[in-house]
Amino acid sequence: MENVTSHTHFILGCFGELGALRPFLFLPFSVMFVVSLSANSLLVYVVVSQRSLHSPMCVLIAGMAVVDLSLPLFFVPHMLLSFLFDWRGISLTGCLVQMYLIHLFGGFQATLLVWMALDRYFAICMPLSYHEQMALPKFVRFIVPLVVRNILMISLVVSLAGTLPFCASNVLNHCFCEHMVLVQLACGSTAINNLVGLMAIFLNPVVDFIFIATSYIVIFSSVLKSGKSGTKALHTCVTHMLVLTVGLTLALIAFLSYRTTNGLPVAVRVFFSTMYVLFPSSFNPIIYGVRTAEIKTHILRTLTC
């Protein structure tokens, strides 16, 4: 059998097709990066500093802001430097670490929406026992299984990718180490990697979406049947569905573009895959800050001071 040297250093293509136009991407992406950092930092600060916002829902929104604050830090600074100075190299170890962090924190975006859906379910359908159900000792039974699931699935996906030999090419047509982009460079069999990757997609965002959709169907039917006033709670539910719809749409486009035969240009696929991570991080804090009345009031007070 012929000995083949596996690559341990990779080049991130990141809109390489644009050639001399790549530096112009620095401005729009840096604006989104600054918006993400400042908006999420402000949201976390307001929730932490105001005792009146220490309700379960506001704490979960702050948790989403922490995730949205962290995700861009894992790849955007390196991407911006590549636009200006053409620094596009990354080691295999650095690639796997980046992949693990991005996919892990990205998975928790959907998981936090599950916990928010549970909060709305208890608030609307079980109002008398809401505080009992949302108390940490009881709510932890919904937290631990999903945290363990996310960590195990992403660890399995990344560890399997790290065992592959990469001898065909060392150019990743992406701005960060996305799982399928790296796997496509392997020169061995990737059947297990593809299967586990699809399992991870189904067991994390797809299952979470099904649970969230089912929860909101139960919530809406409960409000309609009882005829009780649930305007405020339903207003929050619409916010969650808006965030979920935008995030899921971008995620599905990104995932399917690498798993189906399509005529999408590489730059378009990379754009949607990048937006799947970066856009929700900029979009979520603005939506929650505007549509959550209590948080909006304190944000305006903080900014005016």
Separation CA 120–CA 97 (nearest Å): 35
Q: What is the pLDDT of residue 106?
A: 87
> Is 69 within the bounds of a domain?
yes
Which ranges in the chain belong to alpha helices (H)?
26-49, 56-70, 76-85, 92-125, 130-134, 136-162, 179-183, 191-201, 207-226, 231-259, 266-291, 293-304
> Is 185 within the bounds of a domain?
yes
> Is 254 within the bounds of a domain?
yes
Residues 143/240, Cβ–Cβ less than 8 Å = no
Q: How many domains does the chain have?
A: 1
Provide the token pair at 296.
């909006």
CATH code for position 300: 1.20.1070.10
Residues 181/79, Cβ–Cβ less than 8 Å = no
> Is 1 within the bounds of a domain?
no
Residues 124/251, Cβ–Cβ less than 8 Å = no
User: In terms of residue numbers, what domain contains 49?
Assistant: 9-304
Q: What is the pLDDT of residue 1?
A: 39
> Is 197 within the bounds of a domain?
yes
The pLDDT tens digits along the chain (305 residues) read: 345 567 788 999 888 888 888 889 999 999 999 999 999 999 999 999 988 888 888 899 999 999 999 999 999 999 999 998 888 889 999 999 999 999 999 888 889 989 988 988 888 888 888 888 888 888 999 999 999 999 999 999 999 998 888 887 788 888 899 888 888 888 878 889 889 988 888 888 888 888 888 888 888 887 777 665 555 556 667 776 777 777 777 777 767 666 665 567 777 888 888 888 888 888 888 888 777 888 888 888 888 87
C-beta neighbour count of 260 within 10 angstroms: 8
Q: What is the pLDDT of residue 27?
A: 93
Separation CA 264–CA 23 (nearest Å): 23
* Entry pTM: 0.87
Residues 177/90, Cβ–Cβ less than 8 Å = yes
